[in-house]
Amino acid sequence: MVFDKASIKQRIAAVLRQPEALLADEALLSELVEESFALIEMMIELQEEFGTRAFVQDDFRAVRTVGELITLIEQYSTTALRCQ
Amino acid sequence: MISENELWLLSFYRVSEISGALFFGRLARSMRPSSIQADMTKHFSDEAMHAWYWTDCIERLGAKPLKLDVAYQDQYLVAAGMPVNIMEILAITQVFERRVINQYKRHSRTVGTHQDVCQTIARIMQDERWHIQWIRNALQEMEPEYGKDHIETTMQRYMQADVEVYRKTMREHEERVRHLIHTYRGPDGV
């Protein structure tokens, strides 16, 4: 299964319970998520959803915005597909 | 009645158990059905029960739980960085559970601790041993996916963070336990 940017953004909106319109690429995750546990919850839910269970902390450390998160998920799902 | 110090400690345990239950409850909701999710479900139900045990214990001792604004879990995230996959979450939980067990052991060994408190700790410790066990098993099962070395390195990183968090955030807990020991045993600690 291939995940495009739109489907990833749609899922992020659902997990964060935020309208997609608020999820501009440059929107800061820290402003969309009320507390750190909600961010962890979001990370796990997205990995479960997109079958990319092994995000690593070093990769995520640089992620600040919605756009950067989408790019990370795309990279991981591409890697997962290559490994199948 | 119990002292102000002991009430703070029991309330601190209660809040910690509530926070643990909520955290694992939310995680379990985020995960697909699996053996890890099943164990996590039992884990958060245990923690919720532990919170109830402390509420009940405090009330049996003739007091009311304090509302504490102690967010030590956030301190773990600051010190260790946010866990971003399920292995990292289980690793940090394993480190934290060990710390909790040591705190409970230390408290229950304090001479003069009320019988109701000792019984509550003993009841909770039975579940805590299982928590350590299921997480250890889950981390072993993850070795092919994440790599044994990577999991061990992650555990080491969180253990270092634990020392840091304990030194800063848990100071108040430590001081209050010391005060209990001082109260019950006298200034020479005997």
Helix (H) or strand (E) holding B173: helix B171-185
Q: Which two tokens stand for residue B68?
A: 């504490």
Q: Which residues of B touch A40 (CB under 8 A)?
A: 27, 82-84, 89
Residues of chain B with pLDDT under 50: 189-190
Cβ neighbourhood burial of B66 (10 Å; 0-12, 13-18, 19+): middle
- Confidence (pLDDT) at B189: 46
Query: What radius of gyration, in Å, describes the C-alpha atoms of chain A?
Result: 12
Residue of A nearest to B143 (CA): A54
- Confidence (pLDDT) at A81: 45
Q: Which residues of A touch B146 (CB under 8 A)?
A: 54
- Amino acid in position A20: E
Interface probe for A, chosen from B23, B30, B37 (most Cβ of A below 10 Å), is B30
- Confidence (pLDDT) at B100: 86
* ipTM at complex level: 0.72
Q: At how many degrees (to 10) do helices B4-30 and B86-108 cross? A: 160
CB contact under 8 A, B85 and A48: no
pTM of the model: 0.82
Report the alpha-carbon distance of residue B141 to residue A80 in Å, rounded.
19
Give the position of tokens 């309330």: B11
B76 DSSP 8-state letter: H
- Confidence (pLDDT) at A79: 61
Whether the per-residue pLDDT at A80 is higher than 70: the answer is: no
- Confidence (pLDDT) at B170: 66
CB environment A46-76: b (16+ within 10 A), e (fewer): bbbbbebbbbeeeebeebebbbbbbebbbeb
Q: Confirm if A24 and A69 have CB atoms less than 8 A apart.
A: no
Taking a contact as any Cβ pair under 8 Å apart, which residues of chain A between 10 and 39 contact chain B?
35-37, 39
How far off is chain A from B1, nearest CA to CA, in Å?
36
- The SS3 call for residue B150 is helix
Compute the average pLDDT of residues A46-72.
Answer: 80
CB contact under 8 A, B88 and A57: yes
Would you list the DSSP string of B21-56? HHHHHHHHHHSPSSHHHHHHHHHHHHHHHHHHHHHH
